[in-house]
Amino acid sequence: MEEQRKRFKALYHQHHDALGGYCRVQAYGCMDPEDLVGETVLKAFESFHKLKDEKAFLGYLMAIARNIVNTKLRRKKFSAPYSEHFSETIKDESVDAEMKYDIEVLYECLNKLQPETKEAIVLFDISGYSIKEVAEIQQVGESAVKQRLRRGRIKLGEILKQGDMQFESTAKPSQILRTLFF
């Protein structure tokens, strides 16, 4: 290992200036030339044992540097400079604080229902299953599912209108709950 390190060091010193000049040209506009030299030397040393002919050492170094630059340029295609104007045009699809609160209130209300009624509402209204699919899942008839949905919605409306919720004001119910039950 020590012999290999000494041999690499001797070969590198012979070609240091040539590699530096090559890296300055190749790295222009892509990366810092000194970083390219350092990364090239590191990769070259790590795989120095694979080099079959020491006469090809300069070409070996330049090929490594070229591959590093090509990789950087390839990755650069997938990035763009930051533009504040462009960032303002991107739609925010995250759930806002009011929506999170509404969902929490809705879940609290759902927890006050009978389990089979809650399941029917969750499957039909929230998950989007058809009445027939809900009936199959709950192993009941379609009319039973319709009845559970009707009774569950009425009960949810009553819970919200009564002000039974500790965190929901009956004077101004949230938008999502108003849409669903009022």
Taking 50 as the pLDDT cut, the residues of the chain under it are 164, 166-171
Residue 122: its pLDDT value, please? 86
**144-167 b/e with 16+ CB inside 10 Å = b?**
ebeebbeebbebbeebbeeeebee
Q: Is residue 54 located within the same domain as residue 23?
A: yes
Q: Is residue 70 located within the same domain as residue 119?
A: no
Three-state secondary-structure class, residue 93: coil
Q: Is residue 174 located within the same domain as residue 107?
A: yes
Domain assignment present for residue 20? The answer is yes
CB 25 within 8 A of CB 69: no
DSSP state of 96: P
Residue 147: its pLDDT value, please? 96
* Distance, CA of 159 to CA of 13 (rounded, Å): 82
Domain assignment present for residue 101? The answer is yes
If one counts the domains in the chain, the total is 2
Residue the block writes with tokens 């340029």: 73
Residue 43: its pLDDT value, please? 94
Residue 150: its pLDDT value, please? 94
Domain assignment present for residue 53? The answer is yes
Q: Is residue 163 located within the same domain as residue 102?
A: yes
Tell me the residue type at 147. Answer: Q
Quote the domain boundaries for residue 125.
97-181
DSSP state of 176: H
Residue 92: its pLDDT value, please? 65
Q: Is residue 109 located within the same domain as residue 43?
A: no
Tell me the residue type at 40. Answer: T
Q: Is residue 101 located within the same domain as residue 173?
A: yes
Residue 171: its pLDDT value, please? 47
Domain assignment present for residue 47? The answer is yes
Residue 145: its pLDDT value, please? 95
Q: Is residue 49 located within the same domain as residue 121?
A: no
Residue among 101, 22, 33 at smallest CA distance from 58 = 22
